[in-house]
Structure 1
């Protein structure tokens, strides 16, 4: 009990910056969520028809504590948080895999209505499946991973990742590790992009070994650097 309580306190402390950003930018995050919904945002940008050329993996820089909301999600869905070390930790980016990534990303973005956790659940941060057709960024990414696993892709290669978005708000994306580099599935766009092209600051995410999360050292995508 004492060890579990310590883990939760550590996770809460390590995600302090993330939570403060969510609270401080709540209005901006709500606007961003709704701006990403296809009914309100107009016609989304067309997705690339060919797999992108990815030049670099998103490398971690040490172990990190998971978000408290992730730990609570794992308490409810333990199988979704376990790692099968026999699975590959990268996916060959074949034409079929590329099509699946695009189809699932677009499908979830266009069928789940974006609603912030406070309005949906009455709490600041909760990670769960959007079974009622409502959810925010992390809920949509969790559903995308579940659907991709059902298509035969290894869960070990698809990692939930916390970033800081273009508005300075905490945001969650699904990072897919391929043999050509890391790709990002995002509820803000239908296009599946290499991580360098998202403009986000990468904070931390699931690792590929056990349940431990990893730091990315606030890795800044080159497009974000160029915009400053």
Structure 2
């Protein structure tokens, strides 16, 4: 098994945006005269606020691979059975191993699915393509953009399930809930129409 150190430098795909964490509001409660604030817990799903422009490379992607930008299946989230969870994990690991990381040039940000080399958006789109072919509905498979803890632009696949939004990321083989990724979320595809993007 080969080990890859994946540098994720996808800043060109992310427009500057105000980041909304999506975390809930904590309520103070009084116990024995002392005020305690319980830990803040996020919701299971990312909450979109309004329509926004899609990432720069997305329009070209839809023109070149239009079948990947069409709605398929009902607008729903996936019931996360053990088999479905294993399928997500397998796709994440397989694509992370199969694609050799290659940063787009500073002048181009070409989004592609089904490639042998590419950057973060290409990993995310390839994972989405594999799951669509396996019969998962497009409404549950959304590309999202974010910034890493170091401020680098990034793209991942967010899968909407009965147990929350799960993230398939080329930086790790572990499928994580959206709030456990240390990403600062920017925008995401709409569940109703893959061509429409929403601010987070």
Provide the rounded CA distance (Å) in 2 between the counterparts of 1:68 and 1:124.
9
Question: Post-superposition shift, 1:123?
Answer: 3.5
Query: Unpaired runs of 5+ in structure 1?
Result: 1-13, 19-53, 217-228
- For 1:171, what is the secondary structure of its paired residue? strand
Q: TM-score, structure 2 length as denominator?
A: 0.76
Q: TM-score, structure 1 length as denominator?
A: 0.67
Say if 1:204 and 1:214, in contact at 8 Å, map to a contact too.
Answer: yes
Flag the structure with higher helix content.
Answer: 1
Report matched runs for 1:9-158 at 5 Å. Answer: 16-17=15-16, 56-84=44-72, 86-118=73-105, 123-131=107-115, 133-158=116-141
Aligned length: 163
Say if 1:55 and 1:180, in contact at 8 Å, map to a contact too.
Answer: no
Query: Unpaired runs of 5+ in structure 2?
Result: 1-12, 18-41
Q: Deviations over 1:11-50 (max 9, x none)?
A: xxx95427xxxxxxxxxxxxxxxxxxxxxxxxxxxxxxxx
Provide the rounded CA distance (Å) in 2 between the counterparts of 1:88 and 1:94.
18
Provide the rounded CA distance (Å) in 2 between the counterparts of 1:112 and 1:142.
12
Provide the rounded CA distance (Å) in 2 between the counterparts of 1:174 and 1:123.
24
Q: Which structure has the larger Rg?
A: 2
Runs of at least 4 residues off by over 2 Å:
14-18
Larger RCO of the pair (alpha carbons < 8 Å, separation 6+): 2
Provide the rounded CA distance (Å) in 2 between the counterparts of 1:176 and 1:157.
5
Question: Post-superposition shift, 1:102?
Answer: 0.2
Question: Post-superposition shift, 1:83?
Answer: 1.8
